Structure 1
Amino acid sequence: MHLLKNKLLFISPLVVLLVIALFGLTLIPSVQQKPKNLPIALVNEDIGVVIPQQGKVNMGNTVTNMLKKNITSTDGEDPPVKWINVKSKEDVLKGLDNQEYYGALIIPKDFSQKQSSLMTSKPDKPEINIFINQGMNPIAANLTGQMLNTMGDNLENGIQTQVLQRLAKQNVSLKANQLTVLTDPVQVNVKNVNEVGTASMNGSAPVALFQPLWMSSIAGAVVLFFVANKLAFVNRKQKLYAVLTQVLAGTVLSLVAGFGLTWIADLLGIYISNFMDISLFLIITYFAFFLLITAVLSWLEMKGIPLFVLILFFGAPLLSMAPEMMSTFYRDYIYSWLPMRFMVEGLRELFFFHRGFSFSGPASVLLWIALGSFLIIILSVLKVQSSASDKGSYGEVEARSTKG
């Protein structure tokens, strides 16, 4: 009977519903994935061909115009693909390595010549080349591959229909070799570049490594915060010394986390392209996260921990998505402010783009986060402690000396 008189018993369903609603919001980005303006390179190297009674014909131009027209949005929203004209295949490969495009469609220089040969007794299949930038983002890469393959099929059907209509008008009978070619008139060559391989958790290894590193950085920062918080400081100099010791201890934790997580990932069978490079990057990442969390704790104390829990639940689903697949709100106001996205971007470069460790790119951003957090931690030394638990602290000593 006493339990039934407790108001919390009747409030508990509301609390459960509130928690479900709150964390249910984290599913929104994953449910509403819709590509907008995915950058895909388009190269037309076709030099055209001269056809009797028609003059010079460039089917490459016809194809590119058709692709751009068919992908245009008619409902006022952004189209799923943003075609980017590129001059040559060499420029495209550089752009793919620099993560400028999720894929590319290349029309070779002899496309028109081979397409016109379909009308002759010696047909030769025209080709188009498709590149999928697999390592840039597995989800976006799969979607890009599906769209480009569909475009290739549509192009094939269009050329088949066009050639058959022309042959019918000319009342030309087809030979066996022509019929064979016309059933599949275009050779579509698909190639994955910057491949994720077979031991990278289908390309999600950079995202998978985030959670253990993030949680361990919270744990390390909280433990050292409690250790430092139990000390009583006579003056600011003593607190500054304690803060610097705390940061030094965080450096040791960073070494343990960086080398430890890389070793565990390797032990679990994840392909580690370069043990030292990945370890160094994870060390910097952990140190940046540790200082960021410590900076918040130094001002908000344990009241700041829910902030990092919410960042984990709301931010983690976005890390596996391409920015072009998010809503404008999530892309501009949540994803762009997530510090952990630089960890994922840096790991993708190391895992899939064959780049060695450097202090540029994502690593430099993490170092700036670490520096800014360190300065905030140092400023916390000036904070006046006024709570009852601060008896004997430097704040109370200074207050007494002021009265005297």
Structure 2
Amino acid sequence: MRLFSDKLAWAAPMAVILIIALFSVNLFAQGNPQVKNLPVALIINDEGQHVEVVKDAIKQMSKVADGAEPVLAFTIEKEEDIKNLFNDKEYYAALVIPEGYNEALQNAITNNSAATLKVYINQGFNYTGANFAKTALNGLITQLSGQYSTSFIEKMDGQQIDAATASVLVRPIVSEEQIFNPITASTANGSAPTLMAVPAWVGALIGGFILFLSSSSILKRGRLTRKQTLRLMGEQVLFGVIIALFSGFTVATLGSIAGINMPSYFLVGFFVSFAAFCFFLLVSAITAWIGKPAITLFMVVMLLGMGVLMTPQEMLPSFFVNFIRPWVPIRFASEGLREIFYFGSGFYTGGSFNTILGIGITGLAIYLLSILKQVKAQTN
């Protein structure tokens, strides 16, 4: 019974509970997602009685009981701005009341032609969010169409109608969909950017930790001058470049073999390499200061981040949105690759690129400052 009296042995079940809890925390993010305030643009290019009916339906849709938040959050925009707004990822979709809608619905039975409401879908923003917005908007259109259908049928009670008129009576309002920034075929339904970004973090984590162990071993074998220590750190950074290139082009090569429809093999390879190198600098910086516990820290960040990478923030609990999502480095690599895959971006992807670069510069600065800690440790 000696093992049961050993304190370290009792740490094993505690560690298991902690690790399982970390793995399972994503159940809170994805177990029962509640969509709230999904941003949708409303474009009004007409006026009249029937346009006001659409507006009223949207107002009713936005009203919820018991202080809950609405599923969709509508904002009025101009049609000429919608492409830029979609490219800036301001909206998942847009509902458009086209010019002539009021007259078309007014004369739907006479002209035997249904009125049309348009639905624009920003598919590349997030496949899940865009599809949810599309479903909700089409549901609204179906509801409006059903109301008019009932009214029209009551008015034509007893009248003889032909097949064309019957079709309009059943569906006096139809939806017309247009996809912006489409998710291309063979990209795992929009998940390819995230699936290719995760290896950049894993490669940086493993490579950075192994090089930390190797550098620590060299430092322990003999006292190094500050110049020698700085040279060793430079060699570690150079190794980081090699690891990053291996990471990026291994991901791009495997993606190509797997049939992923990449916009450019070299563009994807270099971007993943860039992200991996910046992540490597961050890993090297933290491990240089706190040592082996850093690997646990970064694993926790990765585990917590997996639940937020492919889920729209409007479908996440507020805790994940406020305290986890902003601190997940992989997210910026995923967003950068999304710009490349679906928004026609080059190597520079805007905000995501700037954030990754900032992570790298900060990591490098903190890593270089760790020479003060290492030299101090050698003099003691």
- TM-score strictly above 0.5: yes
In the alignment, is the contact (CA less than 8 A) between 1:44 and 1:61 conserved in 2?
A: no
Match of 2:171 in 1: 184
The correspondence of residues 224-239 of structure 1 with structure 2, limited to 5 A, is 224-231=211-218, 232-239=222-229
How far off is 1:68 after superposition?
2.5
The correspondence of residues 61-210 of structure 1 with structure 2, limited to 5 A, is 61-88=52-79, 90-120=80-110, 122-167=111-156, 173-176=159-162, 177-210=164-197
Match of 1:247 in 2: 237
How far off is 1:130 after superposition?
0.9
Q: Distance in 2 between matches of 1:374 and 1:4?
A: 46
Match of 2:348 in 1: 358
Deviation string for 1:279-300 (max 9, x for gaps)? 2211210011100000001001
Q: Distance in 1 between matches of 2:225 and 2:13?
A: 49
Residue identity opposite 2:333 in structure 1: M
Q: Distance in 1 between matches of 2:197 and 2:152?
A: 54
Q: Which runs of 5+ in 2 are unaligned?
A: none
Q: Distance in 2 between matches of 1:306 and 1:3?
A: 26
The correspondence of residues 48-63 of structure 1 with structure 2, limited to 5 A, is 48=47, 57-63=48-54
Match of 1:400 in 2: none
The correspondence of residues 24-63 of structure 1 with structure 2, limited to 5 A, is 24-46=24-46, 48=47, 57-63=48-54
How far off is 1:271 after superposition?
0.8
Paired residue secondary structure (2:362): helix
Paired residue secondary structure (2:274): helix
Q: Distance in 1 between matches of 2:49 and 2:270?
A: 52
Deviation string for 1:285-336 (max 9, x for gaps)? 0011100000001001111110011111111111011111111111011101
Paired residue secondary structure (2:263): coil
Match of 2:361 in 1: 371
Q: Distance in 2 between matches of 1:356 and 1:8?
A: 53
Q: Distance in 2 between matches of 1:384 and 1:98?
A: 45
Cα RMSD over matched residues? 2.2
Change (3 A) 1:58 1:91: farther
Deviation string for 1:171-201 (max 9, x for gaps)? x724213223101211211233222122011
Change (3 A) 1:321 1:149: same
Change (3 A) 1:123 1:324: same
Q: Distance in 1 between matches of 2:7 and 2:290?
A: 31
Deviation string for 1:48-98 (max 9, x for gaps)? 4xxxxxxxx33123212311222322221221111011122x322332222
Change (3 A) 1:203 1:183: same
Which of 314, 333, 339 is the matching residue for 1:349? 339
Paired residue secondary structure (1:75): coil
Please tell me whether Structure 1 or Structure 2 has the larger radius of gyration of its CA atoms.
1
How far off is 1:18 after superposition?
4.4
How far off is 1:237 after superposition?
1.8
Q: Which runs of 5+ in 1 are unaligned?
A: 49-56, 397-404
Q: Does 1:257 align with 2:257?
A: no
In the alignment, is the contact (CA less than 8 A) between 1:295 and 1:373 conserved in 2?
A: yes
| Bigger mean CA offset, 129-138 vs 18-27 | 18-27
Paired residue secondary structure (2:121): strand
How far off is 1:11 after superposition?
7.1
How far off is 1:6 after superposition?
6.5
Q: Does 1:221 align with 2:212?
A: no
Deviation string for 1:143-183 (max 9, x for gaps)? 11221121121111012123234445xxx724213223101
Change (3 A) 1:258 1:111: same
Residue identity opposite 1:44 in structure 2: I
In the alignment, is the contact (CA less than 8 A) between 1:43 and 1:106 conserved in 2?
A: yes
| Bigger mean CA offset, 65-74 vs 335-344 | 65-74
The answer to which structure has the higher helix fraction is 2
Q: Does 1:311 align with 2:301?
A: yes
Q: Does 1:296 align with 2:286?
A: yes
| Bigger mean CA offset, 272-281 vs 354-363 | 354-363
Q: Distance in 1 between matches of 2:11 and 2:267?
A: 52
Identity across matched positions, percent = 30
How far off is 1:24 after superposition?
1.9
Count matched residues: 376
Residue identity opposite 2:51 in structure 1: G
